[in-house]
Structure 1
């Protein structure tokens, strides 16, 4: 008969999802500490002027939320080691961003003041603008989360449906692009997000993967 202690050890990886409410609370606290009228460093690159506002990109922007959630749930059930890597990378990456926002307040001034069209997609953009200020943008957590989700899906060996992995990569690219096309981020935020992914993934893979995955 399997002991209660062993059963708890078998499922203790599930407790990693407790980071989600901690992250959400911390994110909105940082938003309050660095409001849109704060004295922040402006994230801007001349390339931003070449990227037009396109409200249709709000669809992949919103897809970030179910994408990260579904990847997490799937890996939690089907591939525990990959779930742990996914969650630890998210935890390290997102936590770094939150601390960085506090130490180096930043924001962007790219949002359009008026919209050429009035449709459901513009309404969705306005909802995001209202819920999320234009501060705390560099690095982009949308980019970080999307790339880590795609990496984890592509890395797991239990997924046999061939079209899912390339679809995850395409979705991660579209999500990253969407942050610029809906003017939630500068292209600098995207580049910084990619840099964070490379650094965190490298550190995790070289120094701490074995210990955390086996714990």
Structure 2
């Protein structure tokens, strides 16, 4: 219980994600035109409808992994959150100026997987593809989890992230360039931008603490 209370305030930062995600729906269209980044490699990738399950596992996976990182390495948690938030904002800017689309296959069959894919295609229009937010967030939590201590948990997180990222290709929600650029974007933000923000915030935090302490002493 004490550990939960100690992490409650930092975890509240997660509410930023659904707030900025409002922009996703506003940009999920082809009003400004769209580009097709499908390559011969993408055409060679098979469509495997069963992978729609790990594709949807993205939601609980990201939430649970972020919470896990927060409980186990606060510094990595802040870097992960910075990467996700600024990564998503970067994606939205790209979507506005460079909207892409992914051709979707016709879905045959009445099995559960086919039904889920039809619902997915209905709810999520074939835009906002490059880069993939699915992949960007998965890679961000992998980078954050890498700084935690338990090797077994890191293995599970890496495995799940890879399966989810692969699923974006196998259910034809993204093309390979969406995946590659999302990983590169997340890596740059995590390694450079997030580290810089944390370093500056630490410096300013120490200065504010010193100022507050001196102010109290002078009042006494």
TM over 0.5: yes
Of the structure 1 ranges 135-144 and 15-24, higher mean CA displacement relative to structure 2 is found in: 15-24
* Inter-partner Cα distance in structure 1 for 2:25 and 2:50: 26
- Structure 2: stretches of 5+ with no match in the other structure: 1-5, 206-220
Of the structure 1 ranges 135-144 and 39-48, higher mean CA displacement relative to structure 2 is found in: 39-48
> Does structure 2 retain, via aligned residues, the 8 Å contact 1:84–1:213?
no
Q: CA RMSD in A?
A: 2.3
> Does structure 1 retain, via aligned residues, the 8 Å contact 2:102–2:129?
yes
* Inter-partner Cα distance in structure 1 for 2:105 and 2:202: 45
- Structure 1: stretches of 5+ with no match in the other structure: 1-8
Q: CA deviation at 1:59?
A: 1.6
Distance 1:180 1:10, change over 3 A: closer
Aligned to 2:24: 27
Distance 1:100 1:119, change over 3 A: same
Aligned to 2:218: none
Aligned to 1:190: 179
> Does structure 2 retain, via aligned residues, the 8 Å contact 1:138–1:188?
yes
| TM-score of the two chains, using structure 2 as the length reference | 0.82
**Dislocated runs of 4+, deviation >6 Å:** none
Aligned to 1:18: 15
Higher Cα Rg: structure 1 or 2? Answer: 2
Distance 1:114 1:21, change over 3 A: closer
Aligned to 2:82: 88
Distance 1:95 1:213, change over 3 A: farther
* Inter-partner Cα distance in structure 2 for 1:123 and 1:98: 29
* Inter-partner Cα distance in structure 1 for 2:144 and 2:100: 29
Aligned to 2:210: none
Q: CA deviation at 1:21?
A: 2.2
* Inter-partner Cα distance in structure 1 for 2:202 and 2:111: 47
| TM-score of the two chains, using structure 1 as the length reference | 0.84
* Inter-partner Cα distance in structure 1 for 2:202 and 2:116: 39
Q: Match for 1:174 among 163, 180, 202? A: 163
Q: CA deviation at 1:180?
A: 0.7
Of the structure 1 ranges 195-204 and 87-96, higher mean CA displacement relative to structure 2 is found in: 195-204
Aligned to 1:124: 116
Q: Count matched residues.
A: 200
* Inter-partner Cα distance in structure 1 for 2:110 and 2:202: 49
> Does structure 1 retain, via aligned residues, the 8 Å contact 2:7–2:70?
no
